[in-house]
Chains A and B, each alone.
Chain A
């Protein structure tokens, strides 16, 4: 395998990781601050992608499409927080899982009602299509490079928000001691709605970004949701830093595993069998990684005991 291909795969892994981070950040914030397992997070990712596709079809502008995705996902996030999620904070995790699973079904069916069963069209803007030559002769997709940059900027923004602002201080306080921050006179219900809408907006953004290079269809959120859960378990539940580290680790492991394992196996078995076994093992790799991390750090990489 050539160095150029390896570097290109590392970039691909990074891009995949950054996209997972956008999903995982919201999930981990919601779990960390409210103690809520939100299975409906994938539905918000779908809402973002559908909103972007509709806005792009109507206006032809990708920037407007991204804004529509952010707004729609945040709005639906706030809406379900106010109507459903709010009643679940004091319940145990099983009730939360049941209710948010129901939300997945509701969102999927509603989307199918409104948009039909067939995938929608969403394309990347012309300015970002095609490839760019990176130093060292690596030809890489402009759009994927943009996703990496947007993702890293969001990560930086989140760090600043949580470490440097008043809202961030309240979020951290909420993670540490929910009752005490209420007793100190912070309106906890507004804080919860805000955190939930923020998480939802990030999921929507990620859905819209990814929708342009994948297919915008009902049920697109669930596979990503499962990966996002793997990410936050690896990173440590509730930790944004952990979500970033976990996401990049999962992205790289998955992408490099898919490329390198078949090559590795082909050194001692015939090509066809190597591809079959290699790719089968590659699809298990992130779960093996998760199991490995949990053996040595049961609370995840950055989790607090």
Chain B
């Protein structure tokens, strides 16, 4: 665990930063929003996510998806929202504050694996539940699994494993792969290589938050690769795709859904058209829950939902289903109710494996243009009923 990874580059400012930190924290605290406070809540949920700075779009989707479900069925559940600014130290402070002074029963909302690794172990150690709507680091799926930690999205490797399997189908023989150098990035390349059968023309780790990929693209050009796999979530993906499209290299690209989610596709524009990506969710999955979710989300917020929104929507509905069955004060009963996963998921069938990570289908999607809007369409299934490999190491 190394909660300081992202702030390494700020070392020269340490003294300046400490004085500024007070301001930052004060600003973050004031952003706290409280919903569904009707006197006596039977369950209190703390949602910590990234609402300012880079990655704020993902945080907005996580929050809005969660709140949509709560609005539809979360009577008696109180939600406290805080902004972690994508900084591990702030996420830890917020988690402690929520547990100790807000007295929440469940924490959720964190997007980034390095933040989750800083927050989850101390949350479960304090006897609270943590339900992850996004990050699924390896460390928490295998030997580090915990009875109070549930992952409603995926284990980090999953989407990349599907991309690896799809790369075989697409006929990649000599792939170039790259990802940022942080826990989820390492999981990504590991996951891809687990399923991919061809050779590697090159393997690269980039800096987290890097926005210029000229050096990497030059290496791709020189490597003689016949295909590219990349995992660069959020703004990093936008930068990479735009620069790649401009580079004149014309190789097929596959990746996980994170660089092709609804929130960033419009900013990438034509550069993303036709790219195949893997996801456990898509807006055209054909079931009643998903259709209603897509329509309600669009009506409530005026934009299409992303996979992040679907994950937090599912997380909220899982909490609602468990709260209907058991009182959170009776931890064993509540845990069993969570494990049963007795809710209507936007993904259709939803079940947990022994390590409390999902077992699910992962689809292959293609970026298309519907009218003026760039979006995704399912073109096949990458992996069926897929479970992560770390489950075997988990003692639960």
Which A positions have Cβ atoms within 8 angstroms of B?
1-2, 4-5, 8-9, 12-13, 15-16, 39, 94, 97-98, 101-102, 105, 108-109, 112, 116-121, 123-124, 129-131, 139, 141, 143-144, 210, 212-220, 222-223, 226, 229-230, 233, 255, 258-259, 262, 271-272, 275-276, 279-280, 282-284, 287, 290
Contact = CB atoms under 8 A, between A and B. Distances in A.
Interface string B16-29: 10011001100100
Contact of B242 (A4, A15, A118, A213): A213
Nearest to A217: B235
Contacts of B212: 12, 16, 213-214
Nearest to B207: A283
B267 A120 contact: yes
A123 B267 CA distance: 9
Contact of A119 (B20, B51, B267, B303): B267
Interface stretch (B39-47, B56-64, B123-131): B56-64
B211 A215 contact: yes
A216 B71 CA distance: 32
B215 A272 contact: no
A214 to B, nearest CB: 4
Interface stretch (B6-14, B315-323, B361-369): B6-14
The secondary structure that dominates the A interface is helix
14 contacts: A12-B215, A16-B214, A97-B16, A98-B23, A118-B267, A123-B269, A124-B246, A131-B246, A131-B247, A213-B239, A214-B211, A218-B56, A230-B12, A258-B207
B331 interface: no
B345 to A, nearest CB: 25
B74 to A, nearest CB: 23
Contacts of A233: 12
Interface of B: 8-13, 16, 19-20, 23-24, 27, 51-54, 56-57, 59-60, 181, 186, 200, 203-207, 209, 211-212, 214-216, 218-219, 221-222, 234-235, 238-239, 242-243, 246-248, 263-264, 266-269, 303
Q: Which 6 A-B pairs have the closest CB atoms?
A: A219-B53, A215-B238, A12-B214, A119-B267, A215-B235, A131-B248
Contacts of B19: 94, 97-98
A271 B204 CA distance: 10
B246 A215 contact: no
A105 B215 contact: no
B100 to A, nearest CB: 26
Contact of A112 (B56, B219, B263, B268): B56
A141 B218 CA distance: 10
Contacts of B20: 97-98, 101
Contacts of A124: 246
Q: Which of B10, B214, B219 has the most CB of A within 10 A?
A: B214
A283 B203 contact: no
Given A276-B205, A279-B206, A5 B218 contact: yes
Nearest to B241: A215
Nearest to B16: A97
A118 B263 contact: yes
A9 B215 contact: yes
A214 B242 contact: yes
Contact of B248 (A1, A4, A117, A130): A130
Given A94-B19, A280-B181, A123 B203 contact: no
Contact of A255 (B53, B215, B303): B215
Contact of B59 (A117, A258, A275, A284): A117
A218 B23 contact: no
A275 B204 contact: yes
Given A98-B20, A279-B205, A284-B8, 15 more contacts: A5-B221, A5-B222, A9-B215, A16-B212, A101-B20, A119-B238, A119-B264, A129-B246, A141-B246, A215-B211, A215-B264, A226-B9, A258-B206, A258-B215, A279-B181
